[in-house]
Structure 1
Amino acid sequence: MFLVEWLYGILAMLGLAAKEAKILFLGLDNAGKTTLLHMLKDERLAQHQPTQFPTSEELMIGKIKFTAFDLGGHRMARRVWRDYYAKVDAVVYIVDAADKERFLESKIELDALLGDETLANVPFLVLGNKIDIPYAASEDELRYHLGLANCTTGKGRIDYSNTNIRPIELFMCSIVRKMGYGDGFRWLSQYIK
């Protein structure tokens, strides 16, 4: 065991070892959290039952090994979200861009997350999912409804290490069409320490 840890330490110093991260997949029920988790895990699209209990998966994306937690999004599940905030490296907040009637509810939950002191320095990737549906909100419309119009930090590579600015950005995607979320995870990976 010591040899493995020593070797991993050497590889990490050389920048060759994978980083490890704890990421929470949050959002209202039916936003696509479980679908995304399984798409990232085995690139398969399947029908999923609503998440009743927190689940986790180990994923490797680029040079980052993620432990991703899908905590569910129904009202009862949202009560346990806080139990998972400790030592989290990032939050992926997924919104159903086609369910405009729930934008306010989604904004309230996102605002609560962004206002929580435990998550004050945690980068947030917001994914506007289901853009393959013709009546889905545009990126500008979703930014407006989520209150993100003037507080996202940009999609490029920006160094926030010497500031108190929390990286937060919105990416539009279609998980079922396998588009958009890759750009979001590439953006997020630059802030995983």
Structure 2
Amino acid sequence: MFSWFWDALSYLGLYYKNAKILFLGLDNAGKTTLMHVLRDDRVAQHIPTQMPTAEEVVIGKIRFRAFDLGGHAAARQIWRNYYAKVDGVVFLVDAVDRERFPEVKKELDALINDEMLSDVPFLILGNKIDVARAASDEELRSALGLHHLTTGQGSAPMSDIRPIELFMVSVVRKMGYAEGFRWLSNHIP
């Protein structure tokens, strides 16, 4: 009935869709760096996340309440405490650290198959493509078993299919993640 009102507010930048997003992935994948780049547009060296942190970030028409929960083994034990009312998961992967791909796959599979996240879209970011020895899109998809899970990088939401997609990015070079977040914002109700 008042859609013109919301369209006008959105156009003027006065209205945002709100979303709770979890930044997950193993330690050293780039979660904290991405959070700070999104917040301040600055790349800096960070110590490993010891305690969960939350930031408010606006990307496009969505105001994200983003939670960086850390990725070391002890931090992964509390991830489940944050699943309630989550609208999306951003899962970062260090595309250079091939030795940890089996561990990444195990954690990602557990998240994707968790009943509490069954309807939540997953944006998977293969980070560090600026490093010459980084895995390719195809190699990372194979290592993580994503070929049968991903739904495509198109922006139109599909009905009855949980959106899951991989985007190859470089957080430090500020490449690729904007497209990923646009994709995610189109799949958040």
- Tell me, yes or no, whether TM beats 0.5: yes
- One of 173, 184, 188 as aligned partner of 1:188: 184
Contact 2:125 2:177 in 1 (8 A): yes
Instruction: Name 1:19's counterpart in structure 2.
Output: 17
TM-score in terms of structure 2 length: 0.93
2:57 equivalent to 1:36: no
Contact 1:12 1:18 (C-alpha < 8 Å) held by counterparts: no
Identity within the alignment, %: 64
Q: Distance in 1 between matches of 2:110 and 2:82?
A: 15
SS in structure 2 of the partner of residue 58 of structure 1: strand
Displacement over 3 Å in runs of 4+: 9-15
Distance, in Å, in 1 between the alignment partners of 2:6 and 2:127 is: 34
Other-structure match for 2:163: 167
Greater CA drift, 106-115 or 143-152: 143-152
User: Residues of 2 paired with 1:99 and 1:176: CA distance?
Assistant: 16
Shift of 1:149: 1.6
Amino acid aligned to 1:60: V
- Secondary structure in 2 aligned to 1:136? coil
Cα deviations by residue, 1:112-131 (Å, 9 ceiling, x for unpaired): 00000000000000000000
Contact 2:157 2:163 in 1 (8 A): no
**Counterpart amino acid of 1:62?**
G
2:113 corresponds in structure 1 to: 115
What code does the residue aligned with 1:189 have?
S
Once the two structures are superposed, residues 166-185 of structure 1 have per-residue CA deviations (whole angstroms, 9 ceiling, x without a partner) of: 00000000000000101100
Q: Which moved more, 1:52-61 or 1:13-22?
A: 13-22
Q: CA–CA distance in 2 between the matches of 1:39 and 1:158?
A: 27
In the TM superposition, what is the alpha-carbon distance from 1:151 to its structure 2 partner? 1.6
Aligned length: 183
TM-score of the two chains, using structure 1 as the length reference: 0.91
Unpaired runs of at least 5, structure 1: 1-8
Q: What displacement does 1:22 show?
A: 0.2
Displacement of 1:10? 9.0
- In structure 2, stretches of 5+ residues that fail to align are none
Distance in 1 between the 2:157 and 2:54 partners? 30
AA matched with 1:32: G
Measure how far apart 1:47 and its partner are: 0.6
Counterpart position of 1:4: none
